[in-house]
Structure formats: structure tokens, C-alpha cells
Amino acid sequence: MTRFLPLLFLAAVAAEIASIIWVGSLIGVLPTLLLMLLGGAIGVRLIKTAGMSLAQAVRSPVQTATPLKGVGGPAAARAMSGLLFLLPGFFSDVLGFLLFLPLVRRWLGSRFRVDTYSTMRPADDGRFGPVIEAEAVEIRGEVEERDREGR
């Protein structure tokens, strides 16, 4: 599968260039450029809101020490949608728009579940030995070397 990734990348670039040429021939150069700028602005906005919503979702359970269930998936899908909108071309914009739709995100969420962790400490099952609580004390001064006999 990995040996086909360069070909897949080249095919995606060719599809993007072809989509720009096709849309440009239909509506003209200036409207095409404006649409591409609009797609970039939408991408930036989606990435920003995805990051903010993920930060809010993570901050809330950390304060209450509750586990997170399925929070990362929708935010990751929205961020990926934003990245696709940022790419120049209209083929990636169509994929980004599909990824933005709630129905597609729910379907992807059921196929690829993303669960995060709880902030609660795991039970002490003794695998790591006893927990020793200590306090550090800083000692100032010079260290004297002892001779071999311990004096």
C-alpha cells in the first residue's frame, strides 16, 4: 500500500489542478481566485473552531476528573475538513465539505472511534512498587573529599 502513496499524491495534485482549470474556464479567473480565497478563509475558521472546541472539551473533564468519550473524533474531523479547505483547488474543497457534514462525521465516528483518557489515577496494583512521598532539601556548602580510609 505504501508504495502507491506517491502515485496517489500525484493523482490528488493532478485532480486539484484540473479542478482549478475547469472552474476557471467556467466562471473566469477572478471569480475562481475569489472562490479559492474563500475556501482558505473557511479552512482557517474551521481549524480555529476545532482547536477551541477540543481545548474546551479537554479542559472541562480535567477539572472534574471525568473520562472523555468520543470528544476527539468530531474535532479531528472538523480540523481535517479545515485542512482540506486550505489546500488550493476544488477537489479538496468538495472532500472537506463532505467531511464537514454531520452525517458523514457520525458515520466516520462510528467507524473510527476516538476515546481519550480519564484524569483519575489508576488503581495501585503493586506493579510499580510502593509510592514514597518525600520532600527535597537543598544543602548549601562545600563537599569535602574523604581519603580512602574514610577520614
Instruction: Count Cβ atoms within 10 A of the Cβ of residue 146 and give its class: 0-12 exposed, 13-18 middle, 19 or more buried.
Output: exposed
- Of 101, 45, 99, 54, the residue nearest 77 (C-alpha): 99
Query: How far are the Cα atoms of 73, 123, 125, 127, 133 from residue 130, in angstroms, in the given order?
Result: 37, 12, 10, 9, 10
> And the C-alpha cell for 77?
474531523
pLDDT, one tens digit per residue, over 115-137 is 555 444 555 555 666 667 778 77
C-alpha grid cell, residue 112: 473510527
Q: What is the dihedral of CA 134, 136, 137, 138, to 10 degrees?
A: 170
Question: For 19-50, how does the pLDDT look when each residue is reduced to its tens digit (9 = 90+)?
Answer: 999 999 999 999 999 999 999 999 999 888 88
Q: Is the pLDDT reported for residue 66 higher than 60?
A: no
Joined together, the cell numbers standing for residue 21 give: 482549470
Integer Cα distance of 47 and 99 in angstroms: 13
Please report, for the chain, the start and end positions of each structural domain, with discontinuous segments joined by +.
13-111
Which of 31-45, 71-85, 91-105, 129-143 has the highest average model confidence (pLDDT)? 31-45
